[in-house]
Amino acid sequence: MKENARILVVDDEPQLRRVLRTGLMSRSYDVRAAADGLTALDTFNDWHPDLVITDLAMPNMDGLELCRRLRAISQVPIIVLSAKGEEQTKVEALDIGADDFVSKPFGIDELLARVRASLRRAARPVTNGAVLTVLEAGDFRIDLESRNVTVNGREIHLTPKEFDLLTYLMKHAGKVLTHRTLLTALWGGNYVEQNEYLRVFVGNLRKKIEIDASGPRYLLTEPWVGYRFDPGA
């Protein structure tokens, strides 16, 4: 059996560190905990965890700064724990490069699900250098050369922008993508405030890929934050 995945938990609340350590260890993860961002960076450098779970409000370097520092040195998946009232900070964390978030208070199963998804995504083979011609995940298959897209074997026709959007979503499946991230990726930095562009394209794309566009299964809305793409089983 392969080595257990290592998870670094960063929270200034001792009780939450206790609970997360126990909860995660019961699922065979190796866990270490840090009480603030600075300690977390030290542990990260020594221990090289596979995933970081961090609180946002902490003394001695908050979660936001920790995300920034981690992204500067690593692509490790980061899940932020956020509370209501910290939405702005949460979005900033995601913009900086955090992969996902869980809102407090949370059930351990919800956190575990996010942990699994993030680890899966990180484990996907990185296609360094090799030219990727076909993206396949869940119910979706995108042929980047012929621009042929199928959902569950059913061929769909997309406009060039919709195609770009879906390709981007596929490449970042499972990850929470903020409005800003998507707008920058698809239209460039001048359009970061134009959320309505995005809404229109997401709406159109849903009509084509979803069975029920008003109850989407694949292209999910993260209220006030952005979107998450779940390619299905």
Per CB under 8 A, the list member of 47, 73, 88, 104 interacting with other proteins is: 104
Task: Tell me if 152 sits within 8 A of 208, measured CB to CB.
Answer: no
Q: Is the previous residue joined to 125 through a cis bond, with omega within 30 degrees of 0?
A: no
For residues 134-193, which are near other proteins according to CB under 8 A? none
The size of the interface with other proteins (CB under 8 A), counted in residues, is 30
109 vs 212, which CB is nearer to other proteins? 109
Q: Give yes or no for residue 45 binding other proteins (CB under 8 A).
A: no
Q: Give yes or no for residue 85 binding other proteins (CB under 8 A).
A: yes
Point out which residues pair with 19 in neighbouring strands. Answer: none
Per CB under 8 A, the list member of 38, 61, 108, 156 interacting with other proteins is: 108
Q: Is 202 exposed, middle or buried (0-12, 13-18, 19+ CB in 10 A)?
A: buried
20 vs 198, which CB is nearer to other proteins? 20
Q: Give yes or no for residue 233 binding other proteins (CB under 8 A).
A: no
19 vs 144, which CB is nearer to other proteins? 19
Task: Tell me if 17 sits within 8 A of 9, measured CB to CB.
Answer: yes
Q: Residues 6 or more apart from 165 whose CB is under 8 A from it?
A: 182, 186, 201, 202, 205
Per CB under 8 A, the list member of 7, 8, 10, 20 interacting with other proteins is: 20
Q: Give yes or no for residue 125 binding other proteins (CB under 8 A).
A: no
115 vs 177, which CB is nearer to other proteins? 115
Q: Is 152 exposed, middle or buried (0-12, 13-18, 19+ CB in 10 A)?
A: exposed
Residue with tokens 């959902």: 151
Per CB under 8 A, the list member of 15, 127, 190, 214 interacting with other proteins is: 15
Task: Tell me if 169 sits within 8 A of 229, measured CB to CB.
Answer: yes
Stretch that binds other proteins, among 109-117, 124-132, 173-181, 198-206 (CB under 8 A): 109-117
Quick one: how far is CA 189 from the chain centroid? 21
CB of 28 to other proteins, least distance (A): 5
Structure-block tokens of residue 233: 């089983």
**Residues found near other proteins in the complex (CB under 8 A):** 12-16, 18-20, 22-23, 25-28, 35, 57, 59, 81, 83-85, 104-109, 111-112, 116
